[in-house]
Amino acid sequence: MNVEIPSHVGDLATGLGAGVPYALKVLAGRLADDPDMGRPSGLPGILTVMVEGDVFEDCPDLAVGYIREPDRVVIRHVAPASFVEPEADAGEQEPEPEPVADPALTAVTVREVADAWHRVTRLLQHDAPDSYAALRPGASLSAVAAVEDELGIRIPVELSALWLLTAGDDGVEGSGCLPGNRALMTLDAVVEVHRQRMDSQAQHEAAYADRPEYEPGTVWKATWIPVVTRGPSDRTSGLCLDAETGYLGRWSRYNDDFVEELDTLVTYLEEAADMLEAPSLATRDKPGLVDGALVWLSGIDPERESRWMPLAR
């Protein structure tokens, strides 16, 4: 039986570890012989099979979902098993048990992020090669785990999945590839900005410590993870992901009030992809090109405006 591995699944697999693509190929061979080896998931038509990473070099334990059709098998998603079952730290006292993520929902989230980001990068690769080249390779699982340790919170599945595909955007002439010419932050920048904002919160609380009649308010919460900045080198403002609610919010280093957006990370990426694929229907912003770079009209530098050409579809 034919077993298909879509390109976006292959891209995600590469970000999970050097040995993961090979592990998928081995699994594909097994599925060709035994397409019913998986167990039913919570998703209609999707079967799940677990892969032991110890069998392969540089490969974590994996949860792989696939569709079994009469004449073929299609691998729909791959995710680290740790996304579903967090590993316990043997060196510490056993903490309160965390709610176990629903494997089916985790699979859907990983697939949605991968699909949306693949739509964005496919267009960049074709129409804006300079912007595509500015995207950093995907982070390793250990790098994502290091960010978790620094922030002291669990990184949401959708953000982990995105970082495994790309670990940030270095931009072109100060412009990132996201609407408004915003840029996906590098992991180092995420840690640095989060620390700065937490320091601002501590200073804010200290300033009101002797004034009980006033509510100090909230400048920053530990669960707010900065993910997008105004530009690749402009960290004055941006978007953060609330790890508790799953929604994005606007932040500013000037301690402006936090404003929750109506977007999740998935819907934000999907809308960016929609605007790139159908620019004539875009409402929030207008994508265009300056030479080989993607530039959004709302945040364009006046010096580049005369060279801006709307993206045609």
Does 271 lie in the same domain as 152? yes
Does 146 lie in the same domain as 60? no
Does 280 lie in the same domain as 187? yes
Number of domains in the chain: 2
Q: Is residue 62 part of a domain?
A: yes
Predicted pLDDT at 191: 97
Q: Is residue 98 part of a domain?
A: no
Does 197 lie in the same domain as 159? yes
Q: Is residue 162 part of a domain?
A: yes
Cα-based distances in Å from 233 to 67, 272, 309: 43, 21, 24
Q: Is residue 92 part of a domain?
A: no
Does 202 lie in the same domain as 167? yes
Q: Are 68 and 58 in contact (CB under 8 A)?
A: no
Q: Which residue type, as a one-letter code, is found at position 92? A: E
CATH number of the domain bearing residue 294: 3.40.1580.10
Q: Are 101 and 83 in contact (CB under 8 A)?
A: yes
Does 123 lie in the same domain as 72? no
> What is the percent of the chain with per-residue pLDDT over 70, rounded to a whole number?
88
Does 236 lie in the same domain as 161? yes
Does 110 lie in the same domain as 61? no
Predicted pLDDT at 283: 85
- Maximum average pLDDT range among 6-10, 75-79, 205-209, 275-279: 275-279
Does 176 lie in the same domain as 63? no
- Quote the CA–CA distance of 249 and 259 in Å, as a whole number: 5
Tokens 């995907």 belong to 138
Q: Is residue 100 part of a domain?
A: no
Does 75 lie in the same domain as 29? yes
CATH number of the domain bearing residue 18: 3.30.2310.20
Q: Is residue 89 part of a domain?
A: no
- pLDDT band at residue 169 using 50, 70 and 90 as cut-offs: very high
Does 63 lie in the same domain as 109? no
Q: Is residue 93 part of a domain?
A: no
| H-helix segments, the chain | 7-16, 20-33, 103-127, 129-133, 141-151, 157-165, 187-207, 265-277
Range of the domain at 51: 2-84
- What number is the average pLDDT over the span 82-92? 56
Q: Do β-strands 2-4 and 72-80 pair in parallel, antiparallel, or remain unpaired?
A: parallel
Task: Write the DSSP symbol of residue 219.
Answer: S
For the segment 21-77, what is each residue's pLDDT rounded down to a tens digit? 999 999 999 999 999 999 888 777 889 999 999 999 889 899 898 999 999 999 988
Q: What angle do CA 304, 305, 307 make, to 5 degrees?
A: 70
- pLDDT band at residue 96 using 50, 70 and 90 as cut-offs: low
Main-chain phi, psi angles of 123, to 5 degrees:
-70, -40
Predicted pLDDT at 90: 46
- Quote the CA–CA distance of 274 and 268 in Å, as a whole number: 10
Does 286 lie in the same domain as 152? yes
Q: Is residue 183 part of a domain?
A: yes
| Least reliable range by pLDDT among 121-125, 156-160, 255-259 | 255-259
